Amino acid sequence: MSFFPGRSRSDIQRPAVPHFPGAGVGGDGKGHPLDPDPGVITHRLTPGRGFVLACDSHGGDISLRENKNSSAAMVSDRRTAVITGGASGMGLAVAHALTRSGGWDVTIIDLDAAAGARAAETITDTATTQSSYTSSAMFQQADITEYAALAAAFEATFARTGRLDFVYANAGIAERGNFYGTHDTAGAAPPPPPDLLVSKINLDAVYTTTYLAQHYFRQTPQAALTQGPGSSSSTDQSIVMTASSGGIYPSGFCPLYTGAKHGVVGFMRAIAPSFYKNDKIRVNAVCPGPLRTGLLTKEAWDQFPQELLTDTDKVAAVVLMLIEGRDGAPISETRIDGDRGVDGGGTDQDALLWGNAVEISGQRHYYRDAPGYSDDIMERNMIQCDPTVGSLRT
Ligand SMILES: NC(=O)c1ccc[n+]([C@@H]2O[C@H](COP(=O)([O-])OP(=O)(O)OC[C@H]3O[C@@H](n4cnc5c(N)ncnc54)[C@H](O)[C@@H]3O)[C@@H](O)[C@H]2O)c1
């Protein structure tokens, strides 16, 4: 048994994708099988028959593809994204940015049913009016601390599009309660338990979201990844986690939030080499400074010096850059931990982005490395713990 279980992507049996041109397209000829009113197309296919429907972004060419790998009936030729906490704030901004860029089917997962439904509707409207490539959005209500609910949302997404390209593990809350508070209890009676919901949502659910992402990434037919009408040439799979500046710096006023966000950064750094080397999945985290979202009340936000707040659109731009995998900004502007590089050791600013904690402050972003080793004994020990190079595996 492997200490760090993982399989090489070359071990994965990905289905071939034969092309059967001329299957025809109904309606106005501009539809997509996943658009809100695609019934003519969708219902021609029998779920479970193992066929894949694809059309180009302008509705011109359409093809059926055999899908031997999954129970999903179709594989969309648009890319598929899952965004937790997509009904508000940064998640919503990224959902809008993706659909505006074109060629994405976005699933918003959120606890807030009203905001989620509103978001999906707005995004669909925006996508159809602003992009030359079509996009779509759907909402799945789920409490991401409930594994079954989260898994069902992923399952529904994969059943809808037959693929998964990007996951934004983003949902979060602010710290609740006062960890430093005193409690009047009698004698030896213990205080009430602390409120740990912030760890369950901001950290544990990042684990489960990533775990599910890994599964559905692997279920995605390899051939689907080499095509798509999106605006970019990048068609690989990636995860971005929302950590925080509190994942880099200690924030004493919210210690449990700080712990959870440090955990997100540590988790991202721990899995990124295996995910990339075994499955070509790029994993990164964003660490924004404070920005005005639904995370806090208006009164709380008003207490911040407004000129110091980070712009939500800047965060969305960084997330999209991480999805596309390359950063055109000069290294001199984005590196403050030396030149250990953005690609597991390289220094090329065009290197593929994975394993990065990207701090975002105001309108700037910076790549933050893990601390350097204290000495060679520690370095050699920690290398043993890296399953891509060490010996702690069988
Ligand atoms: N706003 C900031 O200053 C800031 C800074 C750095 C990092 N972050 C992080 O950004 C992420 C997004 O937060 P935001 O600032 O956009 O806030 P937000 O409140 O606007 O959005 C968070 C979304 O997550 C959803 N959510 C909360 N708990 C959930 C649950 N159990 N299941 C499903 N959905 C749930 C909420 O309903 C909401 O729609 C969070 O992880 C947050 O910690 C925020």
Give the pair of three-digit tokens for residue 258.
Answer: 């700080």
pLDDT greater than 50 at residue 32: no
Q: Which of 111, 293, 294, 114 is nearest to 205 (CA)?
A: 111
Question: Are β-strands 20-21 and 79-84 bridged in parallel, bridged antiparallel, or unpaired?
Answer: unpaired
> What is the atom index within ligand 1 of the atom nearest the CA of 243?
7
The predicted structure's pLDDT at residue 329:
82
Q: What is the model's pLDDT at position 386?
A: 83
Nearest CA to ligand 1 atom 14: 89
- Which residue among 96, 108, 110, 257 is best mutated to probe the pocket of ligand 1, counting the most ligand atoms within 8 A of its Cβ? 110
Percent of the chain with pLDDT over 90: 62
Which contacts of 44-47 are long-range, i.e. CB under 8 A and separated by 24 or more positions? 45/73, 45/74, 46/73, 47/71, 47/72, 47/73, 47/159
Least confident of 31-40, 118-127, 221-230, 371-380: 31-40
Q: Residue 74 — very low, low, confident or very high, per pLDDT cuts 50/70/90?
A: confident
pLDDT at 351: 72
Tell me whether residue 257 is one of the annotated catalytic residues: yes
Q: What is the pLDDT of residues 156-180, one digit of tens each?
A: 999 999 999 999 999 999 999 999 9
Catalytic pick from 261, 277, 280, 314?
Answer: 261
Between the CA of 326 and the centroid of ligand 1 the distance, in Å, is: 26
Q: What is the pLDDT of residues 287-345, one digit of tens each?
A: 999 999 999 999 999 999 999 999 999 999 999 999 999 888 877 788 877 665 545 44
List the single range of 40-44, 244-248, 385-389 with lowest mean pLDDT: 40-44
pLDDT at 192 over 50: yes
Of 367, 349, 348, 347, nearest to 357 by C-alpha is 367
Q: What is the mean pLDDT of the chain?
A: 79
User: What is the DSSP pairing of strand 357-361 with strand 166-169?
Assistant: unpaired
Q: Is 292 left (phi over 0), alpha (psi -120 to 50) or beta?
A: beta
Token representation of residue 359: 């701090």
Cα–ligand 1 centroid distance for 254 (angstroms): 15
CA distance 128 to 212: 29
Radius of gyration of the chain (CA): 22
Verify whether residue 280 is a known catalytic residue: no
Ramachandran sector of residue 228 (left: φ over 0; alpha: ψ -120 to 50; beta: rest): left
364-379: pLDDT as tens digits:
999 999 999 999 999 9
User: Lowest-confidence range among 118-132, 138-152, 339-353?
Assistant: 339-353
pLDDT score for 44:
22
Q: Which of 257, 276, 366, 367 is catalytic?
A: 257
Protein residue with its CA nearest to atom 23 in ligand 1? 85
User: If pLDDT is split at 50, 70 and 90, which confidence band does 52 have?
Assistant: very low
324 neighbors 238 (Cβ within 8 angstroms): no
Looking at residue 339, what is its pLDDT? 60
**What's the confidence (pLDDT) of residue 196?**
97
CA–CA distances in Å: residue 267 to residues 50, 138, 270, 347? 36, 29, 5, 23
In the chain, where are the structural domains located? 79-177+193-391
Ligand 1 closest atom vs CA 87: 39
Report which protein residue has its CA nearest ligand 1's atom 7.
244
pLDDT at 33: 38
Tokens of 181: 């508070």
- Tell me, in angstroms, the distance from the centre of ligand 1 to residue 319's CA: 15
Q: Which residues of 168-184 are buried (b: 16+ CB within 10 A; e: fewer)?
A: bbbbbbebeeeeeeeee
d(CA 206, ligand 1 centre) in Å: 12
- Probe residue for ligand 1, chosen from 83, 84, 88, 303 as the CB with the greatest number of ligand atoms within 8 Å: 88
- Which amino acid is residue 206, in one-letter code? V
Counting ligand 1 atoms within 8 A of each CB, the residue from 83, 147, 173 with the most, and so the one to mutate, is 173
pLDDT digits (tens, 9 = 90+) for 256-290: 999 999 999 999 999 999 999 999 999 999 999 99
Helix (H) or strand (E) holding 281: strand 281-288
Report which ligand 1 atom has the smallest distance to the Cα of 91. Answer: 16
CA of 295 to the centre of ligand 1 (A): 6
Using CB distances shorter than 6 Å, the residues near ligand 1 are 85, 87-91, 110-112, 115, 143-145, 170-173, 201-202, 242, 244, 288, 290-291, 293-295
> What are 367's strand-pairing partners?
335, 358
How many Cα atoms sit within 13 Å of 70 on the Cβ side? 27
The rounded Å distance from CA 165 to ligand 1 centre is 22
Strand 51-55 with 364-368, pairing: unpaired
What whole-number distance in Å separates Cα of residue 308 and Cα of residue 366?
A: 16
Span 79-177+193-391 CATH architecture: 3-Layer(aba) Sandwich (3.40)
Atom of ligand 1 nearest to the CA of 171: 24
CA nearest to 77, candidates 244, 293, 223, 246: 223
pLDDT 10s digits, 11-25: 334 333 322 222 222
